[in-house]
Structure 1
């Protein structure tokens, strides 16, 4: 399916651009369609599921040609669609729900992780171990553990499906050195990743060594994921793993992350060497864990 999240971004850009091209302010437009200024702002910033009636009224008020109206209404219908993740509500966690939405229509997923292993490649044992860490943190969980685990499995099924996206993950070796979970669970997780990547040619895992020299760039300030989509009109976007999950959609911001990812890829170990390193790390952790 097409990602409703991505279509909301595209719709927001279309509506804002059309309004600005005609020299109409958001206040003037809101009065023309008898809706609040906040409604216009939410639509133009992709902060809500669009009301197709509001979109139609906006396009008519702006004097958009009928053929173009039909095209934009199609985008609005996609943006208004619901996916399997909506049935979970906040039980799966708002952040994971956003990722599931974006992944649903992705063509490529390029990811960098510096403190944890990628959610799309996590085994159940590792996933539950991370949940136990959240519980030990002492703060109230903002998700339901059982629903979160179930939703993660559904995300993986979507990405692993035939014709699903191509995935490339760069993992900082730091994640393998400083353990947050028991050695036996980390060993199982590393073997799980190696097995997945070995049997699925669309997946690549690269390890960025601790002593890697990344050419001509600063190191990334956080983990991030870059997405592209089959329709070239849908915006490429980046989700940066800050405390609030920043979503970047401007061409310049996305291009900056793409250049950064290219440099990290160059500095990382080749695919086969990366898998060998992961396997060796799993063997060492199994020895530490004992029988």
Structure 2
């Protein structure tokens, strides 16, 4: 799905620089002073901000005598962090939250998602996306353009369905299936669309989590999330946790592992993929009958 996520690569780079400092028992102030760089520039690098200065990264590797293999990984991450993804020119129009998801999806080997109340963006039809855009226009900034948003979601789905696309594993809560988040005909078509994708693309798997499922340890998910595994040499992971107003992105291994374990527990108690698709098709048919009722 194109190159590696610039956002995640910058996060990894920042964490690696902090690890290097810790190994040499140096504060950020001491390292910046030794290199002759402003402390704020080093702080921006460690916090994963855009455009890590290659001269600064080179200087850190030289000063701390980083080995050749580790140095190569660090420079590669800095270079990847500079990359401009296809989503960036239209980020304000498609919505910065969607642009962040497009960034996170880039360069993935696999994507695992749990959808609590809505069909996830990667599987949405244009009509469903448009309906969701219209559902709460007050939350959109002045720069937002609905058509750009729809086109961006379509492109994300095309990248998912490409021959080089990642393995996609969705746990779809029954609430998201049965509670209409748009007009019934749009939801019915959306559910059929998911069933069709599963039938025609081996890399896509959808499992429905019944509302009465007994999850081990009563691990009720508190929010929707997306779990990403990347194709880089370090097999990096990241998690995006969905909230009402923003998205929390986690890259620390212990935080990511908590979501990996949760996802495994959820998959144990879902319907089988075959039973899940039957439910999607049955609900779509029920919605169609309701719409046609006098």
TM bracket, shorter-chain basis: over 0.9
Paired position in structure 2 for 1:211? 212
Q: Which runs of 5+ in 2 are unaligned?
A: none
What is the rounded CA distance, in whole Å, between the counterparts of 2:257 and 2:67 in structure 1?
33
Paired position in structure 2 for 1:201? 202
What is the rounded CA distance, in whole Å, between the counterparts of 1:125 and 1:144 in structure 2?
15
What is the rounded CA distance, in whole Å, between the counterparts of 1:247 and 1:123 in structure 2?
25
Structure 1 residue runs of 4 or more that deviate by more than 6 Å after TM superposition: none
CA RMSD after TM alignment: 1.8
- In the TM superposition, residue 200 of structure 1 has moved relative to its aligned partner by 0.4
- In the TM superposition, residue 45 of structure 1 has moved relative to its aligned partner by 2.2
Paired position in structure 1 for 2:118? 116
Paired position in structure 1 for 2:253? 251
What is the rounded CA distance, in whole Å, between the counterparts of 1:12 and 1:120 in structure 2?
29
Paired position in structure 1 for 2:231? 230
Paired position in structure 1 for 2:158? 157
Which segment is superposed worse, 273-282 or 139-148? 139-148
Secondary structure at the aligned position of 1:87 is classed as coil
Residues 48-73 of structure 1 deviation map (CA, whole Å, 9 limit, x = unaligned): 33121221122223333456434421
Secondary structure at the aligned position of 1:107 is classed as strand
- In the TM superposition, residue 23 of structure 1 has moved relative to its aligned partner by 1.3
Which segment is superposed worse, 25-34 or 269-278? 25-34
Residues 15-71 of structure 1 deviation map (CA, whole Å, 9 limit, x = unaligned): 111111111111112222333322212211213331212211222233334564344
TM-score, normalising length: structure 1: 0.93
What is the rounded CA distance, in whole Å, between the counterparts of 1:234 and 1:276 in structure 2?
35
Residues 200-250 of structure 1 deviation map (CA, whole Å, 9 limit, x = unaligned): 011011111111111224211110011111234142111111233111112
Q: Answer yes or no: is 1:102 the counterpart of 2:111.
A: no
8 A Cα contact 2:188 2:283, kept in partner: yes
Paired position in structure 2 for 1:44? 46
Which segment is superposed worse, 53-62 or 137-146? 137-146
Q: Which runs of 5+ in 1 are unaligned?
A: none
Paired position in structure 1 for 2:177? 176
8 A Cα contact 1:217 1:260, kept in partner: no
What is the rounded CA distance, in whole Å, between the counterparts of 1:141 and 1:112 in structure 2?
30
What is the rounded CA distance, in whole Å, between the counterparts of 1:48 and 1:283 in structure 2?
48
TM-score, normalising length: structure 2: 0.93
